């Protein structure tokens, strides 16, 4: 009996120490995750980019999409995101101005391209630079310029071409550029000024075609990001930005419809 009591007396403190160590062990093996708010033009590009980054780093990106304006409002209202990938400079600049970013200015990661897209069965095929000027269509989808940088670029392009006022009654406003692309793909609009990221995705290449809008008709779409100052995963968020800004990844961005920033 004394031997048994001695063994139990020795074992109990040891068991207590092991149990106390378990939470620490679980913390060490917990998956590394970064919560990302991404502009809707990135919907086709982020899944393969996130997968490649996770394979390279072991860090998982959990991504939610929306217009840059909507996502900015969410962050200003306290959304606990770690990283904001916007479709321009101005919206992440608002996060910097509010003192919520951990850098003094947004960080560029890519450049966007505006295209004119239509379904392959559209009567306006083949598309040309005169398709918009001819004005024979009833509806043209664009992202809301108040919410989405690609919408601003669409208005700028139409204005530069001196077509905005005449085509204004034919514009179908979408909440973001991804929705604008869906409007045309579904037949709810005949034409669309959308992002190259959407137009060059596999599905949109199968069902439609596009032409590039002349770069001179709109300001460069410089897509920028900020990491949240209060994020518990700042290092991992910056690791992704360093990765996407690295030379090999920048070189491969065109396959996702994005132009290199560097």
Q: pLDDT tens-digit profile of 197-248?
A: 999 999 999 999 999 999 999 999 999 999 999 999 999 999 999 999 999 9
CA separation for the pair 98, 16 (Å, rounded): 48
In this structure, are 87 and 139 located in the same domain? no
**pTM of the complete model:** 0.87
Q: What does each C-alpha distance from 158 to 34, 57, 151, 171 come to in angstroms?
A: 38, 43, 11, 11
CATH of residue 90's domain is: 3.40.190.10
261 assigned to some structural domain: no
Looking at the chain, list the stretches that DSSP marks H as alpha helix, in order from N- to C-terminal side. 2-29, 46-57, 68-76, 90-97, 131-134, 149-160, 164-167, 177-186, 196-199, 202-207, 234-244, 247-252
71 assigned to some structural domain: yes
Residue ranges for the chain with pLDDT beneath 50? 1-28
In this structure, are 85 and 143 located in the same domain? no
Looking at the 3D structure of the chain, how many domains does it have? 2
24 assigned to some structural domain: no
Q: Tell me, what's the pLDDT at 18?
A: 33
In this structure, are 144 and 131 located in the same domain? yes
Q: Tell me, what's the pLDDT at 135?
A: 87
In this structure, are 136 and 212 located in the same domain? yes
In this structure, are 103 and 227 located in the same domain? yes
In this structure, are 154 and 177 located in the same domain? yes
262 assigned to some structural domain: no
Give residue 133's domain range: 112-217
Q: Are 91 and 97 spatial neighbours (Cβ–Cβ below 8 Å)?
A: no
In this structure, are 126 and 213 located in the same domain? yes
Q: Tell me, what's the pLDDT at 29?
A: 58
Which tokens belong to 23?
Answer: 């939470």
In this structure, are 58 and 177 located in the same domain? no
- For Cα atoms 77, 197, 194, give the angle at the middle one, nearest 5 degrees: 80
In this structure, are 186 and 59 located in the same domain? no
DSSP 8-state symbol, 57: H
In this structure, are 78 and 202 located in the same domain? no
């Amino acid at each position: 009996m004394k031997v048994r009591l001695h063994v139990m007396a020795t074992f109990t403190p040891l068991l207590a120490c092991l149990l106390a160590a378990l939470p620490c062990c679980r913390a060490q093996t917990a998956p590394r995750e970064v919560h990302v708010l991404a502009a809707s033009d990135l919907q086709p590009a982020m899944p393969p980019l996130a997968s490649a980054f996770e394979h390279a780093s072991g860090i998982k990106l959990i991504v939610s999409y929306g217009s840059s304006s909507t996502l900015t409002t969410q962050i200003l209202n306290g959304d606990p995101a770690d990283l904001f990938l916007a479709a321009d400079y101005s919206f992440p600049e608002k996060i910097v101005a509010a003192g919520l970013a951990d850098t003094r200015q947004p960080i560029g990661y890519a450049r966007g391209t505006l295209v004119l897209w239509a379904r392959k069965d559209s009567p306006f095929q083949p598309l040309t630079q005169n398709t918009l000027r001819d004005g024979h269509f009833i509806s043209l989808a664009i992202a809301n310029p108040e919410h989405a940088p690609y919408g601003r670029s669409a208005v700028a392009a139409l204005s530069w071409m001196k077509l905005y006022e005449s085509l204004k009654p034919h514009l179908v406003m979408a909440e973001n550029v991804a929705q604008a692309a869906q409007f045309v793909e579904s037949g709810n609009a005949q034409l669309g000024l959308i992002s190259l990221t959407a137009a060059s995705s596999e599905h949109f290449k199968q069902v439609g075609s596009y032409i590039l809008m002349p770069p001179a008709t709109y300001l460069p779409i410089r897509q920028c990001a900020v990491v949240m100052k209060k994020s518990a995963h700042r290092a991992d968020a910056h690791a992704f930005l360093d990765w996407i800004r690295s030379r090999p990844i920048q070189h491969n961005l065109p396959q996702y419809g994005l132009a290199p920033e560097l």
